[in-house]
């Protein structure tokens, strides 16, 4: 496999070093209806769930997470849209609590398609943006990233898009997203690409994405892969419930890493970190 060389992504006090090992993005869902079953119970007191979010993020960093990704709106198929004011009311207290708890060099990402939510999250202490619409929902999100000088994850969301060859279609989607980002002033070295495993593809297409992931390396930016607990893995296992997909998540993550993924987005950080130590030894070699 062609092994690309990416310069480090550097901004503020943060550095993401690509190519030495696979980076891990831990997931903190501040939403009651997460598909993965790990969303925080949201009561009337924001301080309560914010503290739980901070504790969850701290555990993930201790277990090996390099980035913590906070989301306040479920991305499962059929989930009701969340107004920006509700999304902000969820993520902003959590991000503030995380920023006060985590080491200063640990980036906090916000998983949102809303420019106004992104601005509020950045003001609260977030330092990355993760857009599952690939800048199609609100293209101005790219300008928010550019003005703040932070990394931007551009994901290929294929829901509602007719596909011919899934890898070629995802490549075109991500290329268009990169063009939007660059035109808005986002620095090339701060763009990260996500092929969108589980977003509008059939199980077979999702598995093909992982199997042919190295084809996306030609886009020239690090690939973030999110396979953790996805329904495709449950389908492969014979309709296994979400709480019974750990081994499948690890297998898919390792397969993706061996095909070029530079970062994985996961719920179960510690077992993923252990599995990736072996995957990285296979991919990058190890000292005797």
Q: Which residues are catalytic?
A: 230, 265
Q: CA-to-CA distance for 241 and 37, rounded, in angstroms?
A: 10
Which two three-digit tokens encode residue 188?
A: 């090339």
Say which DSSP state 221 is in: S
Residues 112, 106: contact at Cβ < 8 Å?
Answer: no
Interacting residues of 109 by C-beta distance below 8 A, sequence separation 6+ = 25, 67, 68, 69, 70, 126, 127, 128, 129, 130, 153
User: In sequence order, what are the beta bridge partners of 70?
Assistant: 28, 110
- CA atoms within 13 A of residue 282's CA, in its CB half-sphere: 13
User: In sequence order, what are the beta bridge partners of 131?
Assistant: 154
Q: CA-to-CA distance for 170 and 236, rounded, in angstroms?
A: 22
DSSP alpha helix (H) spans, the chain: 46-63, 84-101, 115-124, 141-148, 166-184, 203-211, 231-236, 246-257, 269-284
Say which DSSP state 224 is in: E
């Amino acid at each position: 496999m062609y092994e690309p060389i990416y310069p480090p992504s550097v901004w503020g006090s943060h550095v993401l070093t690509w190519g030495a090992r696979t980076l891990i993005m831990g997931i903190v869902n501040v939403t009651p209806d997460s598909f993965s079953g790990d969303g925080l119970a949201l009561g009337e007191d924001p301080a309560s769930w914010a503290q739980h979010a901070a504790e969850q993020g701290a555990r993930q960093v201790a277990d090996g997470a390099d980035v913590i990704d906070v989301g306040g709106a479920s991305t499962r198929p059929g989930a009701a849209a969340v107004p920006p004011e509700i999304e902000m009311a969820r993520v902003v207290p959590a991000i503030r609590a995380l920023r006060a708890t985590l080491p200063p060099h640990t980036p906090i990402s916000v998983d949102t398609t809303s420019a106004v939510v992104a601005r509020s999250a950045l003001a609260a202490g977030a330092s990355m943006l993760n857009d599952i619409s690939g800048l199609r929902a609100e293209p101005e999100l790219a300008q928010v990233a550019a003005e703040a000088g932070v990394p931007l994850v551009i994901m290929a969301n294929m829901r509602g898009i007719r596909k011919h060859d899934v890898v070629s279609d995802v490549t075109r989607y991500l290329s268009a997203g990169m063009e939007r980002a660059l035109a808005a002033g986002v620095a090339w070295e701060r763009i990260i690409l996500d092929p969108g495993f589980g977003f509008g593809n059939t199980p077979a297409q999702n598995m093909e994405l992982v199997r042919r992931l190295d084809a996306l390396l030609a886009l020239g930016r690090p690939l973030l892969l999110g396979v953790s607990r996805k329904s495709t893995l449950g389908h492969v296992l014979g309709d296994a419930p979400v709480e019974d997909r750990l081994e499948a998540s690890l297998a898919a993550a390792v397969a993706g890493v061996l095909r070029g993924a530079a970062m994985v987005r996961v719920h179960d950080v510690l077992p993923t970190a252990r599995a990736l130590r072996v995957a990285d030894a296979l991919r990058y070699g190890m000292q005797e």
